[in-house]
């Protein structure tokens, strides 16, 4: 959820996508390896340190982080969504994250780094900037807001 990933992509993560060292936890999404700062790294550290799901006959050598009920299969996205819904809305968290990330970096970088299409990230950027503009508009008194005035004299036109 932290990097705006869909649950269907999260359940497909393998331990090849995650690196846990004493200093750093990184996850590869798309073409970019992303470092997790504390406290976001803690759940990954705990999961790597105590992989209790290795103790089943169905998954003796599986590389999936989120192992499913069937041998060799990852957890279904709907199952993870159901488990997370007790804590928060996974969709709202993903969309909120995308809105925030589009404020921090150019659309092309966010899209490539997270494996989204630029058009999708652009829609989030527009939505997040629209919210910011509404906020700024509410803070600015109407008399101070820039406007468009036109007159018959072309030299007196203000844009």
pLDDT in tens, 129-144: 755 556 666 666 666 6
Is the predicted pLDDT of residue 111 greater than 90, yes or no? no
Q: What does the pLDDT read at residue 67? A: 83
Task: Take residue 91 and report the two structure tokens written for it.
Answer: 């969709």
The residue to which tokens 């995650």 are assigned: 18
How many domains does one find in the chain? Answer: 2
Specify the higher pLDDT residue, 123 or 30.
Answer: 123
The residue that leads in pLDDT, 145 or 106, is 106
Beta bridge partners of 19: 26
Co-location of 64 and 115 in the same domain? no
Domain-located, residue 155? no
Does residue 101 have a pLDDT over 70? yes
Structure tokens at 88: 């928060």
Pair 45, 109 in one domain:
no
pLDDT class of 152 with cuts at 50, 70, 90: very low
Question: Is 145 among the domain residues?
Answer: no
As beta bridge partners, residue 56 has: none
Decide which of 88 and 50 is more confident: 50
Check whether residue 97 and residue 74 sit in a common domain: no
Q: Are the CB atoms for 51 and 63 separated by under 8 Å?
A: no
Whether residue 158 has pLDDT greater than 60: no
Percentage of the chain modeled with pLDDT above 70: 70
Report CA Rg, the chain.
Answer: 22
Q: What is the pLDDT of residue 17?
A: 92
Q: Is 159 domain-assigned?
A: no
Examine the pLDDT at 127 and tell me if it is beyond 70. yes
What does the pLDDT look like over 16-37, one tens digit per residue? Answer: 999 999 999 998 877 778 888 7
Task: Note down the domain range covering 124.
Answer: 89-140
d(CA 89, CA 87): 7
Q: Are residues 14 and 82 in the same domain?
A: yes
107 & 64 share domain: no
pLDDT at residue 24 in the model: 92
DSSP at 93: H
pLDDT in tens, 35-62: 887 887 888 898 888 766 555 666 667 7
CB 13 within 8 A of CB 65: yes
């Amino acid at each position: 959820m932290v990097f705006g990933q869909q649950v269907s992509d999260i359940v497909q993560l393998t331990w090849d996508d995650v690196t846990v060292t004493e200093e750093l936890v990184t996850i590869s999404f798309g073409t970019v390896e992303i470092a997790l700062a504390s406290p976001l790294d803690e759940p990954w550290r705990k999961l790597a340190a105590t992989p209790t799901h290795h103790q089943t006959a169905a998954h003796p050598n599986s590389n999936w982080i989120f192992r499913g009920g069937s041998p060799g299969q990852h957890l279904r996205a709907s199952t993870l969504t159901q488990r997370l819904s007790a804590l928060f809305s996974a969709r709202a968290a993903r969309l909120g994250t995308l809105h925030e990330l589009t404020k921090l970096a150019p659309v092309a970088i966010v899209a490539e780094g997270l494996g989204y299409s630029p058009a999708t990230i652009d829609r989030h950027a527009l939505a997040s900037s629209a919210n910011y503009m509404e906020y700024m508009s509410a803070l600015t008194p109407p008399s101070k807001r820039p406007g468009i005035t036109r007159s018959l004299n072309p030299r007196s036109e203000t844009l």
